[in-house]
């Protein structure tokens, strides 16, 4: 039994822990500069939970441990807003923005160029209101119809970007803050990935995910959703705290512990407004959350009062809306595209529609499971969405609009390109054309892959050229590429003699490659670069890979039964073996792989070190990771396996969080190294 500690040191430790946790939240959400790694945050929180469990009398409602834990509710109580939550009038183009600036100036009887406006991005989430009584969060509510909303306090308490208690000594007796609850793109993708893995329903977009999460009766569920809050308005505050301008109030909110938009800017007159809207339009793609426009507010609060309201919207503010990213249209037909590995992808042929300035006439339907999930049919009316550069998506089907002649979408029994039979293997979601390289569609895609940068890297052999070569039947297999002659190539339309010569020269260069690239270039289903590398390292020689049994393949690190069976059946096909022999015959070769290099635990992984380490120097940490087979890189991306965050880690840590990359602190790294290092590997690191 451990001795019970005396109360005073425990009280001190508890308040220190609470302050540390609150500071960590503040730095992360308000200052955008994470102070401590996640693992450290979790450690502090666990310690606080332990202490509070031992001393229940010391638990307070605003303790960071009390974010989650309220029992599921039966329903949400009605909350009447003391100040109505209004909406905003919209402007859809520059003219309407300029007209707004003109109206404001006229009413204020001033010169248009002298009005200051505070501009913010228009976050695409849900408006909520938070009430603080003497600095403590007492109520959180949805907008509802603007007069009456729903009390969702327990759910809102779970958001770490919402302070449970206001910061600082001197806080207003009453404060009502409004802002938007939203979900970041990275949080949304992670949530949907998890849902897919579990086989549960995925959300159509971050906004729906945020709305669905706030409506959960069990705050435990809301707590597990990556929701964030950004404040944009003060509805009520003690007079002493009032400021002359909206922008000053926003700064005050930051002091009190709220995240406000880092994009806020104060601009002058109509030109300033138009410029801000343009800038936000350009920023939009680079943000990790959805915005659907900009909110333009007269900055001076006295001027706001003077301008007042018309019906349900203030005269002092305007929402500039970006062109909608979603539109409705009709699925006219569904065709099937054949990919490199023969996979058939259903593509919806749409009634052309303008979405965010671009005409959309096709959208991918991914696979038959997706068609079933959407319950989509030909002639259905659907909502299409285009976000950034991504391929247009069908978000949902408007079931009520289904016409009588709606037709069920069926997977064809024959490949639409080569007429070979279409097979669906086991319980795989994908159906594939069985034609292999006999199928021109697969041949084109296989050649594109073969020539791509990470494969044989054939400079100058682009998509159009490959299409032309396959259509003329000059190239049927990858080996045929090496038989091309410059004179013949020069006969192609738009092909100058010089380009033809260059292409032949680059084919000559690409003939000499590495075993890993060669294996990758073969385009074996599910075999990416990392697997190709692992195979080359493990077997050292091509024919040993080709003749390996299923068990021998499964013995390679990171190769599971599914990938092993793809590799095994690929090499079991006689025509694939012939293609390989033919490639060797036309002179494709590679250096021998030095065998004996053992598979390392971190082979194929990229790690990033950031912040200051204590026990190790950067170089030591790097050497020890490299000795375990890792690559240590300076920048964080989706491909990063883990980020080691020391003290004062900054933007890299934040990026890792945004991308959902594993983060570990130095003690965790040391524990990890201790677990994986063998006498050999630590020797080679020193």
The yes or no reply on residue 127 touching ligand IVH (CB under 6 A) is yes
Q: Are strands 317-321 and 358-364 parallel, antiparallel or unpaired?
A: unpaired
Does the footprint of ligand IVH cover residue 314 (CB under 6 A)? yes
Q: Which is nearer to ligand IVH, 292 or 666 (CB)?
A: 292
> Is 143 or 444 the residue whose CB approaches ligand IVH more closely?
143
Which helix (H) or strand (E) covers residue 129, if one does? strand 126-133
Q: Nearer to ligand IVH by C-beta: 89 or 620?
A: 89
The one segment of 3-11, 60-68, 115-123, 510-518 that binds ligand IVH by CB under 6 A: 115-123
86 binding ligand IVH? (CB under 6 A) = yes
Cβ proximity to ligand IVH: between 294 and 608 the closer is 294
d(C-alpha 359, C-alpha 341), whole Å: 30
CB of 247 to ligand IVH, least distance (A): 12
Q: Could you give the CA distance from residue 549 to residue 540 in angstroms, rounded to a whole number?
A: 15
Q: Measured from the CB atom, is 44 or 296 closer to ligand IVH?
A: 296
Q: 63 to 82, contacts with ligand IVH by CB under 6 A?
A: none
- Radius of gyration from C-alpha coordinates of the chain: 31
User: Alpha-carbon distance 298 to 108, whole Å?
Assistant: 11
**Residue of 18, 67, 81, 122 that binds ligand IVH (CB under 6 A):** 122
- Select from 163, 311, 177 the least CA-distant residue to 235: 177
| Block residue for tokens 């694939």 | 576
Closer residue to ligand IVH, CB minimum distance, 72 or 308: 308
CB of 122 to ligand IVH, least distance (A): 4
* Catalytic hit among 5, 122, 201, 321: 122
- Please report, as residue ranges, which positions from 247 to 306 form the binding site for ligand IVH (by CB under 6 A): 295
Please classify residue 384 by burial: count the beta carbons closer than 10 Å to its beta carbon, then call 0-12 exposed, 13-18 middle and 19+ buried: buried
Q: Which stretch binds ligand IVH (CB under 6 A): 189-197, 314-322, 378-386, 544-552?
A: 314-322
Q: Which residue lies nearer to ligand IVH by CB, 87 or 362?
A: 87
The CA distances from residue 498 to 502, 503, 505, 597, 638, in Å, are 6, 9, 11, 44, 40
Task: Tell me which residue has its CB nearest to ligand IVH.
Answer: 127
Nearest partner of 447 among 521, 500, 518, 508, judged by Cα: 521
- Quick check: is 122 catalytic? yes
Quick check: 156 binds ligand IVH (CB under 6 A)? no
> Which of these segments, 107-115, 116-124, 147-155, 390-398, binds ligand IVH (CB under 6 A)?
116-124
Lookup: tokens for 198:
């579990």
Q: Which is nearer to ligand IVH, 136 or 313 (CB)?
A: 313
Q: How far is CA 186 from CA 189, 285, 659, in A?
A: 5, 14, 5
Q: Roughly what angle, to the nearest 10 degrees, separates helices 185-198 and 206-214? A: 70
Q: Is 182 in the site for ligand IVH (CB under 6 A)?
A: no
Stretch that binds ligand IVH, among 94-102, 117-125, 200-208, 324-332 (CB under 6 A): 117-125
Q: Does the footprint of ligand IVH cover residue 233 (CB under 6 A)?
A: yes
Q: How far is the CB of 245 from ligand IVH (least distance, A)?
A: 15
Number of residues that bind ligand IVH (CB under 6 A): 15
Cβ atoms of residues 125 and 184 within 8 Å? no
Residues 382-411 that bind ligand IVH (CB under 6 A): none
- Locus of tokens 């992670």: 190
d(CA 121, CA 279): 10
Give the residue with the Cβ less far from ligand IVH, 297 or 538. Answer: 297
Complex with ligand IVH: residue 319 or 490, whichever CB lies closer: 319
CA–CA distance, 475 with 56 (Å, rounded to integer): 77
Q: Give how far Cα 72 sits from Cα of 79, 152, 208, 220, 363, Å.
A: 18, 11, 21, 8, 40
Which position among 120, 176, 290, 430 is part of the footprint of ligand IVH (CB under 6 A)?
Answer: 120
Q: Which of 59, 221, 319, 387 binds ligand IVH (CB under 6 A)?
A: 319
How many C-beta neighbours within 10 Å does residue 454 have? 13
131, 125, 181: which is closest to 155 by C-alpha? Answer: 181
Least distance (Å) between residue 44 CB and ligand IVH? 32
Q: Which stretch binds ligand IVH (CB under 6 A): 84-92, 218-226, 459-467, 657-665?
A: 84-92
The CA distance from 23 to 165, in Å, is 12
Q: Phi and psi for 510 in degrees, rounded to 5? A: -70, -20
Cα–Cα distance between 390 and 280 in angstroms, integer? Answer: 19
Q: Binding of ligand IVH at residue 209 (CB under 6 A)? A: no
| In the complex, least distance from residue 232 CB atom to ligand IVH, rounded to whole angstroms | 4
**Interaction with ligand IVH in 39-58: which residues (CB under 6 A)?**
none
List for the chain the helix, strand, coil content (%; round to 5).
40, 20, 35
88 scored as a contact of ligand IVH (CB under 6 A): yes
Nearer to ligand IVH, 317 or 466 (CB): 317
Minimum distance of ligand IVH from residue 317's CB (angstroms):
6
Give min distance, CB of 120 to ligand IVH, in A.
Answer: 4
**Of the two residues 298 and 535, which places its CB atom closer to ligand IVH in the complex?**
298
Q: SS3 of 258, please?
A: coil
Burial 124-150 (b: 16+ CB within 10 A, else e): bbbbbbbbbeebebebbbbbbeeeebb
Q: Does 123 bind ligand IVH (CB under 6 A)?
A: yes
CA–CA separation, 534 vs 542, rounded Å?
12
Q: Which of 22, 52, 176, 180 binds ligand IVH (CB under 6 A)?
A: 180
By CB under 6 A, which span of 311-319, 482-490, 595-603, 659-667 interacts with ligand IVH? 311-319
515 binds ligand IVH (CB under 6 A): no
CB 108 within 8 A of CB 303: yes
Which residue in 534, 660, 540 sits closest to 601, CA to CA?
Answer: 534
Cβ 498 vs Cβ 460: under 8 Å: no
Binding of ligand IVH by 654 (CB under 6 A): no
CB of 624 to ligand IVH, least distance (A): 47
In DSSP terms, which residues pair with 298 in a beta bridge?
117
The single residue among 28, 41, 232, 607 that binds ligand IVH, judged by CB under 6 A, is 232
Pairing of strands 512-513, 589-590: parallel
Q: Select from 49, 60, 66, 87 the one that contacts ligand IVH (CB under 6 A).
A: 87
Q: Are 111 and 105 spatial neighbours (Cβ–Cβ below 8 Å)?
A: yes
Active site residues: 122
- By CB under 6 A, name the binding residues for ligand IVH: 86-88, 120, 122-123, 127, 143, 180, 232-233, 295, 314, 317, 319
């Amino acid at each position: 039994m451990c001795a019970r500690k005396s109360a005073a040191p425990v009280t001190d430790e508890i308040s220190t822990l609470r302050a540390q946790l609150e500071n960590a939240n503040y730095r992360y959400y308000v200052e955008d500069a994470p102070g401590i790694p996640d693992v450290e945050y979790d450690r502090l929180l666990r310690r606080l939970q332990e202490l509070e469990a031992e001393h229940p009398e010391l638990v307070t409602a605003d303790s960071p441990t009390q974010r989650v834990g309220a029992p599921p509710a039966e329903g949400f109580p009605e909350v009447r807003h003391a100040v109505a939550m209004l909406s905003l009038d919209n402007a859809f183009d520059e003219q309407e923005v300029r007209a707004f600036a003109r109206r404001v100036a006229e009413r204020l009887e001033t010169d248009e160029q002298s009005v200051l406006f505070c501009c913010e991005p228009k976050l695409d989430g849900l408006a909520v209101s938070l009430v603080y009584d003497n600095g403590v969060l007492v109520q959180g509510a949805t907008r509802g119809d603007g007069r009456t909303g729903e009390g969702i306090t327990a759910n809102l308490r779970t958001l770490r970007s919402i302070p449970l208690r206001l910061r600082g000594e001197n806080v207003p007796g009453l404060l009502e803050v409004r802002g938007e609850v939203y979900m970041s793109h990275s949080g949304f993708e992670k949530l949907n990935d998890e849902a897919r893995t579990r086989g549960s329903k995925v959300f159509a977009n971050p906004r729906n995910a945020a709305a669905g999460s706030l409506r959960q009766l069990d705050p435990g569920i809301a707590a597990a959703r990556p929701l964030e809050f950004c404040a944009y308005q003060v509805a009520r505050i003690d007079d002493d705290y009032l400021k002359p301008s909206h922008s000053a109030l926003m700064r005050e909110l930051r002091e009190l512990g709220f995240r406000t938009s880092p994009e806020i800017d104060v601009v002058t007159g109509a030109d300033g407004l138009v410029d801000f809207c343009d800038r936000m339009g350009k920023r939009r793609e680079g943000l990790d959350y959805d915005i659907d426009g900009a909110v333009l507010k007269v900055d001076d609060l006295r001027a706001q009062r003077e301008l007042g309201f018309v019906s349900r919207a203030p005269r002092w503010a305007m929402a500039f809306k970006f062109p909608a990213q979603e539109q409705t249209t009709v699925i006219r037909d569904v065709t099937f595209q054949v990919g490199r590995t023969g996979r058939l992808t259903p593509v919806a042929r749409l009634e052309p529609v303008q979405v965010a300035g671009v005409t959309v006439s096709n959208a991918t339907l991914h696979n038959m499971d997706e068609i079933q999930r959407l319950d989509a049919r030909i002639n259905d009316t659907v909502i299409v969405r285009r976000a950034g550069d991504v391929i247009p998506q069908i978000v949902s089907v408007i079931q009520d609009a289904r016409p009588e002649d709606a037709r069920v979408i069926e997977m064809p029994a024959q490949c639409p390109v080569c007429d070979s039979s279409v097979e669906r293997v086991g319980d795989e979601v994908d159906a594939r054309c069985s034609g292999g390289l006999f199928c021109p569609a697969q041949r084109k895609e296989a050649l594109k892959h073969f020539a791509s940068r990470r494969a044989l890297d054939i400079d100058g052999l682009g998509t159009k050229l490959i299409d032309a070569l396959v259509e003329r039947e000059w190239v049927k297999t990858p080996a045929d590429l090496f038989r091309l002659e410059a004179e013949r190539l020069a006969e192609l339309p738009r092909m100058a003699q010089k380009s033809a010569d260059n292409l032949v020269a680059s084919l000559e260069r690409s003939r000499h490659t590495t075993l890993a690239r060669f294996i990758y270039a073969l385009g074996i289903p599910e075999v990416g670069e990392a697997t190709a590398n692992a195979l080359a390292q493990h077997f050292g020689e091509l024919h040993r890979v080709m003749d390996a049994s299923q068990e021998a393949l499964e013995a390679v690190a990171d190769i599971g039964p599914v990938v092993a069976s793809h590799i095994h059946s690929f090499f079991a096909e006689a025509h694939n073996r012939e293609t390989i022999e033919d490639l060797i015959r036309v002179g494709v070769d590679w250096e021998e792989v030095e065998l004996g290099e053992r598979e390392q635990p971190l082979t194929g992984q990229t790690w990033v070190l950031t912040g200051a380490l204590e026990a190790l120097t950067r170089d030591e940490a790097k050497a020890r990771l490299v000795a375990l087979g890792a690559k240590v890189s300076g920048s964080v991306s989706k491909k990063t396996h883990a980020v080691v965050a020391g003290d004062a880690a900054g933007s890299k840590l934040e990026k890792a969080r945004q991308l959902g990359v594993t983060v570990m602190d130095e003690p965790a790294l040391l524990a990890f190294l201790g677990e994986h290092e063998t006498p050999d590997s630590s020797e080679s690191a020193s």
